[in-house]
């Protein structure tokens, strides 16, 4: 039976958070079926099976992480509608998510009803960026050709994830556990990141992160 209600796929590694999202969205008359998964690695397969209208996802997840998940989903379907719902409200995260293929961004610090509104707006084919997250914009549009000269643009999505954790003081073993990657892989990323950012020490990385409001 055909329905006009919005089908939603939730991607978040915390079961309690997913349950909260489901309860919030299910309370809206315009939301239909909801499926939730805990890792980005499952997203493309579940997207293909469930064929949701909107994907709502976090950025900070173990494994491939949110940004890489967005990139893979967008590569699979360039028309995909992805809404990021993240604790990170810094501009760099918003820009990274949009550049990867997301159509909207909402902070978890926002009022609960903002998430439902964002889902509805994105499902209608428009972008939705929570007010204040991209101060330079006067509306919800975002330039697809944004080539702003940002130091961190040289980092790949995965390098950015590792950089963020390194700048917080986590060591290679901690980061390997956090991202479900090998210790050797994290060490290689560490070297690549420092080379790209012309940084010699972890303190240098922390300084760069502070300048760009990452920490």
pLDDT above 90 (res 132) = no
Alpha helices in 77-201 (DSSP H): 91-100, 112-123, 157-167, 172-179, 183-197
How is domain 151-211 classified at the architecture level of CATH? Answer: Orthogonal Bundle (1.10)
**Lowest model confidence (mean pLDDT) among 84-88, 117-121, 164-168:** 164-168
Helix (H, G, I), strand (E, B) or coil at 70: helix
Give the bridge partners for 24, in sequence order: none
Delimit the domains of the chain by residue range.
6-129, 151-211
CATH topology of domain 6-129: Rossmann fold (3.40.50)
pLDDT above 80 (res 12) = yes
Please tell me the predicted confidence (pLDDT) of residue 5. 94
Q: How confident is the model over 75-113, as pLDDT tens digits?
A: 999 999 999 999 988 888 998 999 899 999 999 888 888
Helix (H, G, I), strand (E, B) or coil at 72: helix
What's the rounded Cα separation, in Å, for the pair 188 and 186? 5
Short-list 140, 88, 97, 134, CA closest to 118: 140
Give the bridge partners for 93, in sequence order: none
- Number of separate helices (H) and strands (E) present in the chain: 9, 6
- Evaluate whether 162 touches 184 at the Cβ level (below 8 Å): no
Strands 31-37 and 54-57 turn out to be unpaired
Q: Report CA dihedral (43, 49, 55, 60) to the nearest 10 degrees.
A: -10
Angle, CA 61 vertex, CA 119 and CA 200 arms, to 5°: 125
Helix (H, G, I), strand (E, B) or coil at 37: strand
**Global pTM?**
0.79
Which one has a higher pLDDT value, 145 or 175?
175
- Write the DSSP symbol of residue 156: -
């Amino acid at each position: 039976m055909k329905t006009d209600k919005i089908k939603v796929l939730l991607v978040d590694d915390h079961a309690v958070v997913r349950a909260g999202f489901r309860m919030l969205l299910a309370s809206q008359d315009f939301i239909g079926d909801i499926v939730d998964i805990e890792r980005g690695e499952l997203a493309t397969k579940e997207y293909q099976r469930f064929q949701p209208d909107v994907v709502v996802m976090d950025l900070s997840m173990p494994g491939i992480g949110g940004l890489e998940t967005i990139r893979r989903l967008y590569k699979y379907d360039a028309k995909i509608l992805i809404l990021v719902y993240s604790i990170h409200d810094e501009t760099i995260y918003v820009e990274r998510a949009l550049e990867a293929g997301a159509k909207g961004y909402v902070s978890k610090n926002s009022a609960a009803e903002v998430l439902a509104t964002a889902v509805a707006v994105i499902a209608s084919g428009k972008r939705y960026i929570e007010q204040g997250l991209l101060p330079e914009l006067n509306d919800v549009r975002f330039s697809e050709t944004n080539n702003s000269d940002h130091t961190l643009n040289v980092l790949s999505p995965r390098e950015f994830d590792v950089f963020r954790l390194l700048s917080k003081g986590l060591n290679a073993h901690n980061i390997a556990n956090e991202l479900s990657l090998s210790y050797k892989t994290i060490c290689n990323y560490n070297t690549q990141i420092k080379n790209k950012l012309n940084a010699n020490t972890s303190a240098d990385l922390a300084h760069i992160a502070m300048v760009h409001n990452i920490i």
